[in-house]
């Protein structure tokens, strides 16, 4: 469902309208190097971490930098040892964008896995929300920019 705004602009109202569908996923036992390859190949900065298909965490490129490289851990380290799992928050596709924003704000997270029937169906990021809610913001511009490989 979209709500109409002045000048004919239609804004999304639910997570399903702005989420990235079919997110990259890895299992908790997969090595960090595999997660990094999936991020590279998909041109994304995160993967959703699963335990037998159930969402249990998120691994970001920053997690790899801080918890693997900076700690001099092996690239074969299982994802489950270094991903963010504390206070994991998820949303459903029909969650309102306002609720998603509040959840991100109150839990100080930048990404929310989107889960339906215990399966990861998407991910929504702070950048996604910025592009939807204020296309002229600096964060929206950065989020929409081509990668700078």
pTM above 0.85, yes or no: no
pLDDT tens digits along 50-59: 999 999 999 9
Strand partners, 120: 115
Per-residue pLDDT band for 136 (boundaries 50, 70, 90) equals low
The better pLDDT of the pair 4, 91 is held by 91
pLDDT tens digits along 61-120: 999 999 999 999 999 999 999 998 878 999 999 999 999 999 999 999 999 999 999 899
Q: Give the residue carrying structure tokens 């081509």.
A: 146
How many residues are listed for the chain in this entry?
149
Ordered structural domains, the chain, with CATH: 18-143 (3.10.580.10)
Give the span between the Cα atoms of 130 and 141, in whole angstroms.
9
Answer yes or no: are the C-beta atoms of 88 and 55 closer than 8 Å.
yes
């Amino acid at each position: 469902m979209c709500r109409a705004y002045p000048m004919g602009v239609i804004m999304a109202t639910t997570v399903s309208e702005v989420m990235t569908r079919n997110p990259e996923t890895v299992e908790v036992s997969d090595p960090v190097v595999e997660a990094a390859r999936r991020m590279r190949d998909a041109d994304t900065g995160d993967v959703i971490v699963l335990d037998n298909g159930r969402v249990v965490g998120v691994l970001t490129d920053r997690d790899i930098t801080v918890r693997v490289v900076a700690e001099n851990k092996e690239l074969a380290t299982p994802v489950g040892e270094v991903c963010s799992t504390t206070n994991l928050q998820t949303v459903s596709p029909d969650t309102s964008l306002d609720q998603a924003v509040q959840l991100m704000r109150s839990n100080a997270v930048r990404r929310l896995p989107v889960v339906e029937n215990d399966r990861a169906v998407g991910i929504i990021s702070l950048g996604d929300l910025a592009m939807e809610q204020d296309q002229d913001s600096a964060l929206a511009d950065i989020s929409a920019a081509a990668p700078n490989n």
